[in-house]
């Protein structure tokens, strides 16, 4: 049963140096055409399900002008929301304002995710960001004043030339914002980004590991629950939408480059804007039972509590110990289990990619 929707807004007023997501410089005419195509995609595919989570990401959704945001929310009026729902909207500090936030509130948005990335001006310039920490503080204050009490901020670490002291200061500043969710990302220099074109290199893995441990320890000491490899929340403020992904549940993906999972099919929309607007295309992967189990393990083991063994059996009618090389990984102490769950050992979380690769194919 589908109960979640992701919507991609690819437009940005500025292209960050590290960004590998599907994005496009803001262009008023392209936005107009894009929203028409987005409406068509949603109208033709949404099947009137009761929706519990919506996530509008990008790109930079807050780069849209007020009239374009109104049009976007008009498009979404077709969607039936459950009584209890989570509706997240991504914003950047430099292009969210009181008028836009009021519009978000009026249209049911109840969770804001802000791309802070760093509070260090030197590092922000390296990342190609267009704000400073004073602006972040002002906008978080405004967001709270307008009644939003579920706020996430993103933090990027392991930036070339970043020191441990830089990261400590970033963590202190972000904790001072008094938000209830923090997503952390080690900077990966990926193809087709400005940093990659400039031949920048990732930092030393030992420093990355030290930074990851600093983040985990500092946030836990400040009342955050480490519930997924990269995500920390105050009690009750976990991202319900992202848990849909990690629990391998079905969801719609609408918009340029968006991915979805419906009726045993995983799909990804074209990431070429002209194709999306003029000749809609998507790639589809029809899943076998083995494929579904593979996704279940790869996604589920991202959660710190891992996978519920009874839920796995109810879903697949197979004991989780009998699939792939779960027994071997338990014996090698990469995985461990309790009465209900099986999960990656906490001291092995940093190397989770080398563990999850065990579940890709066979």
Tell me the Ramachandran region of residue 161: left when phi exceeds 0, alpha when psi lies from -120 to 50, beta otherwise: left
- What are the backbone angles phi and psi of residue 33, rounded to the nearest 5°? -65, -40
Q: What's the pLDDT score for residue 48?
A: 96
Q: What's the pLDDT score for residue 327?
A: 95
Task: Place 201 in a pLDDT band, splitting at 50, 70 and 90.
Answer: confident
Q: What's the pLDDT score for residue 17?
A: 72
**Whole-angstrom distance, CA of residue 247 vs CA of residue 108:** 25
Mean pLDDT across 107-122: 97
Handedness of CA 211, 215, 221, 225 (dihedral sign): negative
Q: What's the pLDDT score for residue 361?
A: 60
Q: How far is CA 330 from CA 227, 247, 306, 309, 318, in A?
A: 21, 21, 13, 14, 17
CATH of domain 4-245: 3.20.20.70
For 52-80, how does the pLDDT look when each residue is reduced to its tens digit (9 = 90+)? 999 999 999 999 999 999 999 999 999 99
Buried b (16+ CB within 10 A) or exposed e, 329-349: beeeebbeeeeebbbbeeebb
The pTM (predicted TM-score) of the whole model is 0.95
Element (H, E) at 209: helix 205-221
Q: What's the pLDDT score for residue 190?
A: 82
Q: What's the pLDDT score for residue 196?
A: 80
CB neighbour class for 131 (10 Å; exposed up to 12, middle 13-18, buried from 19): buried
**Whole-angstrom distance, CA of residue 247 vs CA of residue 141:** 33
Share of the chain above pLDDT 70, in %: 98
Domain definitions of the chain by residue range:
4-245
Taking the alpha carbons at both ends of the chain, their separation in whole angstroms is 28
For 313-338, how does the pLDDT look when each residue is reduced to its tens digit (9 = 90+)? 999 999 999 999 999 999 999 999 99
With 70 as the cut, is the pLDDT of residue 249 above it? yes
Task: Place 236 in a pLDDT band, splitting at 50, 70 and 90.
Answer: very high
**DSSP annotation string for 62-88:** GGS-HHHHHHHHHHGGGSEEEEEEEEE
Residue with tokens 């392991």: 158
Task: Place 255 in a pLDDT band, splitting at 50, 70 and 90.
Answer: very high
Q: Provide the β-strand partners of residue 56.
A: 7, 89
Sheet holding 259-262, edge to edge: 259-262, 265-269, 282-286
Could you give the 3-state DSSP secondary structure of residue 222? coil
Higher pLDDT, 22 or 135: 135
With 60 as the cut, is the pLDDT of residue 223 above it? yes
CB neighbour class for 198 (10 Å; exposed up to 12, middle 13-18, buried from 19): exposed
- Nearest Cα residue to 115 out of 141, 101, 94: 94
Element (H, E) at 60: none
Handedness of CA 347, 314, 243, 268 (dihedral sign): positive
Residue with tokens 């780069």: 63
Residues near 343 by beta carbon (within 8 Å), at least 6 away in sequence: 301, 303, 304, 305, 306, 307, 335, 336, 337
Average pLDDT, the chain: 94
Residues near 143 by beta carbon (within 8 Å), at least 6 away in sequence: 96, 101, 112, 114, 151
Q: What's the pLDDT score for residue 24?
A: 79
**Whole-angstrom distance, CA of residue 308 vs CA of residue 174:** 33
**Whole-angstrom distance, CA of residue 324 vs CA of residue 310:** 17
For 274-322, how does the pLDDT look when each residue is reduced to its tens digit (9 = 90+)? 999 998 889 999 999 999 999 999 999 999 999 999 999 999 999 999 9
**DSSP annotation string for 311-333:** HHHHHHSS-GGGSTTHHHHHHTT
């Amino acid at each position: 049963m589908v109960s979640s929707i992701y919507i991609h807004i690819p437009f940005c007023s500025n292209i960050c140096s590290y960004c590998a997501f599907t994005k496009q410089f803001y262009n008023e005419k392209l936005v107009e055409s894009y929203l028409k195509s987005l409406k068509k995609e949603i109208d033709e595919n949404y099947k009137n399900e009761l929706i519990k989570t919506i996530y509008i990401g990008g790109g930079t959704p807050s780069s849209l002008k007020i009239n374009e945001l109104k049009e976007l929310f008009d498009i979404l009026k077709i969607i039936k929301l459950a009584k209890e729902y989570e509706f997240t909207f991504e914003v950047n500090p430099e292009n969210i304002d009181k008028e836009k936030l009021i519009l978000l509130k009026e249209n049911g948005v109840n969770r804001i995710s802000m791309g802070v990335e760093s509070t260090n001006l030197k590092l922000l310039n390296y990342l190609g960001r267009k704000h400073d920490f004073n602006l972040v503080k002002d906008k978080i204050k405004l967001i709270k004043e307008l009644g939003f009490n579920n706020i996430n901020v993103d933090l990027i670490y392991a930036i070339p030339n970043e020191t441990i002291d830089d990261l400590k200061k970033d963590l202190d500043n972000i904790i001072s914002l008094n938000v209830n969710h923090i997503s952390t990302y080690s900077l990966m220099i990926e193809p087709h980004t400005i940093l990659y074109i400039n031949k920048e290199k990732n930092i030393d893995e030992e420093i990355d590991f030290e930074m990851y441990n600093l983040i985990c320890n500092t946030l836990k000491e400040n009342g955050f629950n480490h519930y997924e490899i990269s995500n920390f929340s105050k009690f009750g403020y976990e991202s319900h939408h992202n848990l849909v992904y990690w629990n391998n549940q079905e969801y719609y993906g609408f918009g340029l480059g968006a991915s979805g999972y419906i009726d045993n099919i995983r799909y990804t929309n074209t990431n070429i804007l002209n194709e999306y607007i003029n000749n809609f295309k998507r790639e589809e992967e029809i899943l076998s039972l083995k494929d579904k189990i593979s996704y279940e393990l790869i996604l589920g083991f991202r959660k710190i509590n891992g996978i519920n063994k009874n839920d796995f059996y109810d879903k697949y009618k197979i004991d989780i110990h009998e699939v792939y090389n779960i027994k071997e990984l338990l014996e090698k102490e990469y995985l461990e289990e309790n009465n209900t769950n099986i999960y990656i050992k906490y001291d092995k979380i940093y190397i989770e990619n080398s563990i999850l690769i065990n579940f890709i194919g066979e």
